[in-house]
Amino acid sequence: MHSSLAAGAPLELAKAGEPRRVSLGTATPKAGGRGELRDVLWPLAGWGAFPNWVLVLFGILDMVIRLAALGIVPGNRRPTTAMAWLLAIFLIPLVGLPLFLMFGSYKLSSRRLRQQAEINQKVLEATRELKEPRSAMEAPTWVHSAAELNRTLGSFPVLDGNTVQLFADYRASIAAMTEAVRQAREYVNVEFYIMAKDEVTDELFEALQEAARRGVTVRLLFDHIGTLRVAGYRKFLRWLKQSGIQWHRMLPIFPVRGQWRRVDLRNHRKILVVDGHVAFTGSQNLIEPGYLRASSRRTGRGWVELMARLEGPIVTALNVVFATDWYSETDELLAHELFTPSSVTESGPMTCQVVPSGPGFEAENNLRLFNTLIYSAVERLSVCSPYFVPDDSLLYAITTAAQRGVDVELFVSEQGDQFLVHHAQRSYYQALLQAGVRIYLYPKPMVLHAKFLTVDGYVGVLGSSNLDMRSFSLNLEVSLMMLGDDIVPRLLEIADSYRKVSRELTLDEWARRPRGERYIDNVCRLTATLQ
């Protein structure tokens, strides 16, 4: 009998009279052998089974990929994003390269980009003769500058004569939308990132079905991947198919149908428009407050939201955003619902401007607006965002504001609902606290999902956009800039209600957190530019 050894572990027997030596290690290859070439290639088992010419060819390909990545990856990307991709490609190429090919580009298809450009041009042409209206209150020069920025990037003008009603109560906003749908006579346009027909939203969806059956045109859009992940998705589709509602998925992923793109591009907008007279927008999705998650039921977790009900000319502007997304998904252009000066009817003292953003635009419209407003702040800046993962420009803007004496406060959740994003967010707390930003932690298990900011006593912004790199680059978002009336005091009242139940995080407390938590936060921060 003899013992069998693994390949590459030869047995060396001693000559007579010499000590017996057994070598179980891999034999050292001769000069010029495959071992030397194999050592410079990607560390994979089994390279020794290939002939030298294959190894040489692979080595050349490896070098070409690395050199090409150095010149291709940084193009039109933030340096931090480019560096993250380069590290992934160089350190774990078999994983990093396929991921870059799948997720490296955040732009939409050329067809969608053409459609967005077409809508933008129509809006500009229809409103070319409109001048910036006189606000109900005198505004500083920087407010007009921000409005001009929004007009240049997003095409929509500033519109006077609006009313805004805020809903900080989750069920009250659903009830208000339901009542508006019941009053519909011509059409209802509904666009939300996540939808589900459950015990909270059931009445709203039944109202939509009733409207469709009495002859109202009801159009409905939901994000494919965002809604697909919700419990009861298949049952919801079956209901939609027999409801009489015209519905479509936004950014659908169906490779067999030729519908394919970067899978984490999302349409994150929340819009409901009734007859061109009433509109809703904000942070809330059409789903019960716990998002139908078993963990939410177990822990009592719910989402805290902020929605706005609008009347006046701004309603048509929001409807144009819906029409743009409907056009992208159906190729049907709702020309009769596009913005025209003749459709403007004033109904209140508020001045508003719609700011669409996302990969359909060349610039990051929302990020540029936020930075402009933050740098303009002189007295007080109040920010609420469930996911605060800033790029360098936003981090510098908000810390600089605090350092130059602006009273800056940030409201975030004590415990986030997304592990990577929450820990990436925490990695910025030290820089914020050191700069003088006051951070308020909304108590767990609730998720503070409202998204707004106020600047001094002049401007308030709310909408679907988070202050994170995903919302700036990967998500289609819609924001609403508002001034006049008492919008800032009303938003600050909501901030006050958050502050009453939150606790303030101090720099001393944060410096004492366990090293293990610091490590996790820093690792997750590395993924921030790719999330």
**Domain termination residue (choose one: 103, 119, 145):** 103
Helices and strands: H and E segment counts in the chain: 20, 20
Q: Which residues contact 265 (CB under 8 A, 6 or more apart)?
A: 106, 108, 251, 359, 474, 475
How close are the terminal C-alpha atoms of the chain, in Å?
Answer: 59
Exposure string for 255-280, b = 16+ CB within 10 A, e = fewer: eeeeeebbeebbbbbbbbbbbbbbbb
| pLDDT tens series, the chain, 531 aa | 444 434 444 434 444 444 444 443 444 444 444 455 455 444 444 555 677 887 788 778 778 877 888 787 777 666 777 777 787 777 777 677 777 766 666 666 677 778 778 877 777 676 655 554 444 446 889 999 999 999 999 888 888 889 999 999 999 999 999 999 999 999 999 999 999 999 999 999 999 999 999 999 999 999 999 999 999 999 999 999 999 999 999 999 877 776 666 777 899 999 999 999 999 999 999 999 999 999 999 999 999 999 999 999 899 899 989 998 998 899 888 877 655 444 556 778 899 999 999 988 888 999 999 999 999 999 999 999 999 999 999 999 999 999 999 999 999 999 989 899 999 999 999 999 999 999 999 999 999 999 999 999 999 999 999 999 889 988 999 999 999 778 999 999 999 999 999 999 999 999 999 999 999 998 888 776 555
Backbone angles phi, psi at 62, to 5 degrees: -60, -45
Specify if 4 maps to a domain: no
Pair 200, 73 in one domain: no
| Residue 249 three-state SS | strand
Amino acid, res. 450: A
Pair 406, 279 in one domain: yes
**CA 272 – CA 253 distance, rounded (Å):** 24
To which residue do tokens 């490896």 refer? 62
Query: Which DSSP state fits 459?
Result: E
Tokens of 38: 């194999």
**CA 149 – CA 499 distance, rounded (Å):** 32
**Domain termination residue (choose one: 73, 103, 133):** 103
**Enclosing domain of residue 183:** 110-530
Specify if 21 maps to a domain: no
254: left (phi over 0), alpha (psi -120 to 50) or beta: beta
Pair 79, 126 in one domain: no
Helix 202-213 with 170-182: angle, nearest 10 deg: 10
The CATH number of residue 269's host domain is: 3.30.870.10
Specify if 511 maps to a domain: yes
Tokens of 150: 């929004």
Specify if 8 maps to a domain: no
Specify if 405 maps to a domain: yes
The residues assigned a catalytic role are 268, 270, 275, 449, 451, 456
**Alpha-helical regions (H) of 155-232:** 170-182, 202-213, 224-228
Distance of CA 468 to the CA centre of its chain: 7
State how many domains the chain has.
2
Specify if 19 maps to a domain: no
To which residue do tokens 């006051």 refer? 438
**Domain termination residue (choose one: 103, 122, 148):** 103
